[in-house]
Structure 1
Amino acid sequence: MRLPAALVAAVALAGCASAPTTVVAPLPPAARPSAADATVGTAAGADHAAGFGAWRSAFSAQALAAGIRPDTVRDVLGGAQWLPRVVELDRAQPEFTRTPWAYLDSAVSAQRIAQGKAQLAEHQATLNATAARYGVPATVITAIWGMESNYGSNFGSLRTVDALATLAYDGRRRAWAQSELLAALRIIDAGDIAAERMVGSWAGAMGHTQFLPSVFLAYAVDADGDGHRDIWGSIPDVAASTAHFLARSGWQANERWGAEVQLPPSFDHARADLGVRQSTAQWVAEGVSAIEGQTLPHLAAASIVTPAGARGPAFVVGANFRTLLRYNNSTNYALAVALLAQQIGGGPAIAGAWPRDLEPMSRAQIQTLQETLNRKGFSAGTPDGVMGPATRAGLRAFQRSIGTAQDGYPTLELLQRVQAP
């Protein structure tokens, strides 16, 4: 069972319905190339084949100094290939942001739910044994598997050493890629997997559950007892490795991830934030209620999240939801895993309606929103076209100034109001 390496750095999971997207630990910010880097990999018109060869020779010395066996350095690193397509993907940015409903429509589709139920039935003994060992439900393990690689049908086909060597030579996060490349070489050194079988995504995420090499070293498990930790071909190893990561990241056995809720008309949407935590009982005292026919879980530190703002569905989430964020630091991703697991287990789908009439905003429009908010004194952080905590805080401050719900959700209407004189 090639589980989704959700713990590998959230490399691309944003819309993972078809391609591996995570990496379990968020990638570090893109580094500004140094002068030395520029002379090797990014100088305009450089001969990349020769440049890559020179970089590979220099890095071989670092690998040997780090304790990688000479045979591995010669046979594996010495044969690494530069992949121009990896550089293109690393530098690409989506033109438009993806709405929560578009993301969830794809990630939690009827087909993926049905496939998840089939996989759960087929591997029931393994998944149940893993759940008993680590306290992570079989449905959650299965859902991550579905999210990360569509149950093993698409976990990437690039040699991990080639992808990481390319990024270490000519990517935006070279120090990070070098560290992951060394980790990949250690895995090969240890005999867990042959270099030609170590395959995954362009960003270095590997196997069914898209673990980064560093995450593999820390959390991969040999559950089938064959002496190898194999997240490419062994379902027991994939299941156990994924559950082990979640358990070590704070998963609370016998606690639900959360539930969909109904908010009272007077609800202060500025409090719909993962940083605002209180017990479910306290939220209920403020008028938050369960969807008809459902029950609320007892959560000691629960937050309210509204992925599409005041007009969309609302959820109360607890510690296990935050653990899912450790796999991929995206609220949409964590919600997709939770809802997919819930429905694979026979639970309900979302009852609330999404505001599907709202058009997605482009990165350029969000950057304009950020720039305008900053100019008008509503601090929105660095204008980069990405909705982060600072931008949501600035937008909420603007919404407060005009007397609308402070949900921090960007819309074209709000952009026009911000730009108005």
Structure 2
Amino acid sequence: MSRWIPAATLAFALPACGLANVDTSPRPAARPAVLAQPQTGNFDAWRSGFATRALAAGITQATLDRSLPVMQLLPETVALDRRQSEFGARIWDYMDSTVSPARISQGQSALRRHANILTRIESRYGVPPEILVAIWGIESSYGANRGGTQTLATLATLAKDGRRGEFFEAQLLDALRIVQAGDISPQAMIGSWAGAFGHMQFMPSSFLTYAVDFTGNGRRDVWADDPSDALASAANYLARRGWTRGQPWAREVVLPDGFDLRLTGQAQAVSAWTNAGVRAAAGAQLQSGQARLVLPGGARGPAFLTYGNYDVLKEYNLSDAYVLAVGHLSDRLRGDGGLRGSWPRGDRALTQDERRALQRRLNALGHDTGGVDGRIGPATIAAVQAWQKTQGLAPDGYVNADLLRQLLP
């Protein structure tokens, strides 16, 4: 949570820079290493200047004395930060990998193993065990892949040589505040190569705001083998961001023949959707309230009515693909079956150059995509829908090779 997607670009995702983005790419365990002497010297000079700024920001000399030796330059992290994916992952490929049979089975075991603590967490924060365990499974494979890199080294490297130095320097200062508070030692603060740590992969700023000492041992220990503090901290995050107790995240639905796809992306009362012929898939009941229609695979893919808790999950991670994976995994952990709708698996992933060409063309036609970055985010989806409406096409906002051929002159 509260993090950045370094390289992976999902075909149905929001922008990569946001308060709650998660690294959805594989997390290599980059280890500390030292570069050639000239580059290391530059890093040493940066680290010395950072120490001065840290003191001015309230970090004590004692904390710096303990932490500065851990701040080594990680060339692997620099390389990973600069690497860009040529192809955007298709949402069904992402869903297949994140909601796999093995992850479902392991998650159900985790639910049984931690039933007591999860029940207590739900009682306090109102977040269902299945949601927390689904996030846990996707973030760290239920704690098996919490990362193997020293976080202070990662953040120092990205502050010095990353593409978002100011952001990561602020995260590094927050990491030092965590050390200074006594939650963990500099050496024991271990996480992913992109700076997130623990079972639920918090960034330091999110830890300071939302982490809780649920076990009552005096430390907010999201790194321990015992996941209690980490699970409760994630529940606290969701609760404080507006989670509604007892409300579903979404329901898969079936659209009637001739449905007006101009309603895609709009929110209205569930009664209005049912009056328009929308029905829950597999005979399930739709809960009353406001819901928004989402078609992540376009008109040919599964359809969802998403409730307010869907948007809360997007506070945890701004990628719609991630939220759909968490939600669907939580349903499977509860015992529900697979999706009724079928993905358009014949569609290929667009290259980064093709995605940029699509954005440039939409902008030239007067439909603002919010930039030309190759990421199919909300602004690009809205621009696609606006263009589709001008052409009399189904405005589902779905991007594929057919759309690209129609757009390009």
TM-score, structure 1 as length reference: 0.88
How big is the shift at 1:12? 5.3
Residue 394 of structure 1 aligns to a residue in which SS? Answer: helix
Quick one: distance in 1 between partners of 2:267 and 2:217?
44
Residue pair 1:270, 1:406 contacting (<8 A) in 2 also = yes
1:277 aligns with 2:272: no
Deviations 1:251-273 (A, max 9, x none): 00011112000112333333322
Aligned equivalent of 1:59 = 50
Aligned 8 A contact 1:60 1:73 in 2: yes
CA contact (8 A) 1:208 1:231 kept: yes
- Tell me the secondary structure at the aligned position of residue 303 of structure 1: strand
| Map of 1:308 onto structure 2 | 297
**Structure 2: how far apart are the matches of 1:116 and 1:63?**
41
Alignment CA distance shift 1:218-1:23 (3 Å): farther
* Alignment correspondent of 1:249: 241
**Equivalent residue for 1:36?**
none
Partner of 1:302: helix, strand, or coil? strand
Aligned in 2, Cα 1:193/1:227: closer, same or farther, shift over 3 Å? same
Moved more, 83-92 or 52-61: 83-92
Write the deviation string for residues 110-136 of structure 1: whole angstroms up to 9, x where unpaired: 110000000111111111111111100
Q: Tell me what 2:133 maps to.
A: 142
Instruction: Say which of 298, 302, 306 aligns to 1:317.
Output: 306
Does the CA contact (< 8 Å) of 1:155 and 1:206 recur in 2?
yes
* Alignment counterpart, residue 63 of structure 2, candidates 72, 82, 86: 72
Kept after mapping to 1: 8 A contact 2:127/2:238: yes
Q: Is the aligned partner of 1:295 residue 2:285?
A: yes
Alignment partner, residue 180 of structure 1: 171
Q: CA deviation at 1:375?
A: 2.8
The match for 1:385 is 374
Q: Tell me which residue corresponds to 1:104.
A: 95
Letter in 2 for 1:277: A
- When structure 1 is superposed on structure 2, of 324-333 and 401-410 the one drifting more is 401-410
Equivalent residues of 1:221, 1:241 under 8 A apart? yes
1:152 aligns with 2:146: no
Q: Tell me if the contact between 1:220 and 1:241 (Cα under 8 Å) persists in the aligned partners.
A: yes
Asked if the contact 2:7/2:85 (under 8 Å) is kept, the reply is no
Q: Which moved more, 1:82-91 or 1:162-171?
A: 82-91
Q: Alignment partner of 1:162: what SS? A: helix
SS in 2 for 1:267: coil
Structure 1: give runs of 5+ residues left out of the alignment.
1-6, 17-21, 29-44
**Are 2:300 and 2:343, in contact at CA under 8 Å, matched by a contact in 1?**
yes
- Corresponding position: 1:342 with 2:331: yes
Choose 69-78 or 94-103, whichever is displaced more.
69-78
Q: Matches of residues 403-418 of structure 1 in structure 2 within 5 Å?
A: 403-418=392-407
Residue 389 of structure 1: CA displacement?
2.4
Q: CA deviation at 1:27?
A: 6.2
- Aligned partners of 1:368, 1:375: CA distance in 2, in Å? 11
Q: Which residue of the partner structure matches residue 224 of structure 1?
A: 215
Change (3 A) 1:24 1:404: closer
Deviation of the 1:74 alpha carbon: 1.6
**Total equivalences in the alignment:** 390
Structure 1 pair 79/336, CA: closer, same or farther in 2 (3 Å)? closer
- Alpha-carbon RMSD across the aligned residues, in angstroms, is 2.1
Encode CA deviations 1:117-158: one digit per residue, 9 max, x unaligned. 001111111111111111000111111100100111112111
Question: 2:8 touches 2:84 (CA, 8 Å); kept in 1?
Answer: no
Instruction: State the Cα deviation string for residues 202-257 of structure 1 (Å, max 9, x = none).
Output: 22111110000111011111111111111011321111111111110110001111
CA drift at 1:396: 2.1
What code does the residue aligned with 2:47 have?
A: R
User: How far apart, CA to CA, are the structure 2 residues paired with 1:267 and 1:158?
Assistant: 50
Residues of 1 paired with 2:347 and 2:127: CA distance?
36
Measure how far apart 1:14 and its partner are.
Answer: 5.6
Residues 89-130 of structure 1, C-alpha deviations (whole Å, 9 max, x = no match): 112111111111111001111110000000111111111111
Cα contact 2:381–2:397 (8 A) shared by 1: yes
| Aligned position for 2:2 | 8
Aligned to 1:394: 383
What is the distance in 2 between the residues matched to 1:333 and 1:203? 17
Q: Find out whether 1:263 has 2:255 as its counterpart.
A: yes
Q: Which amino acid aligns with 2:247?
A: E
Q: Distance in 1 between matches of 2:7 and 2:207?
A: 18
Answer yes or no: is 1:209 the counterpart of 2:200: yes
Change beyond 3 A, Cα 1:24–1:160: farther
Report the secondary structure of 2:290's partner residue.
coil
Task: Give aligned-pair identity as a percent.
Answer: 43
- How much has 1:411 moved relative to structure 2? 1.4
